[in-house]
Structure 1
Amino acid sequence: GGAARLRFALPSPLARYVVPKGFVTIDGVSLTIAALGKSSFEIALIPHTADRTTLGALQPGDLVNLETDVLAKYVRRALGKA
């Protein structure tokens, strides 16, 4: 089978660190952002990742641990926009 698209709410304090095709970590799994909206983002979850992580069992409304790309934080800080 193909990849499943999962959409997650994007908390506004993290939005400045999320870019299209950038990276995000959800429950300890590093993933590429497939689509980005103003208040949400999507990832493509391939069957291999779904089978070997807890992400395959997620249900709408489940809470997840969300971490943004640390490189984006360093760049913003270097540019004085932290």
Structure 2
Amino acid sequence: MLHIASSYKIDVIFVASYSYVMTNSIGGDWVYVDANKEEVDMYITNHSKKGDVVITQDIVLLSLLLGKGIITMRYISA
């Protein structure tokens, strides 16, 4: 994903809770939010805008974002 985004000069922002701080950064920009339930979803919902692309496993978050005109993709891990 990062390679493709880099090819098209697209910024990648990862959002995670403080309880999931990465020690080995995989690239992109990282935003850390409180560890309270749904904080990550609320941050993404409040900071994304029409035309943004959001990739997540959270179906509820996807449904919230679709109503805002945000391009959504569901990530399914193998």
TM-score (norm 2): 0.26
Return the structure number with greater relative CO, CA threshold 8 A, min gap 6. 1
More helix by share: 2
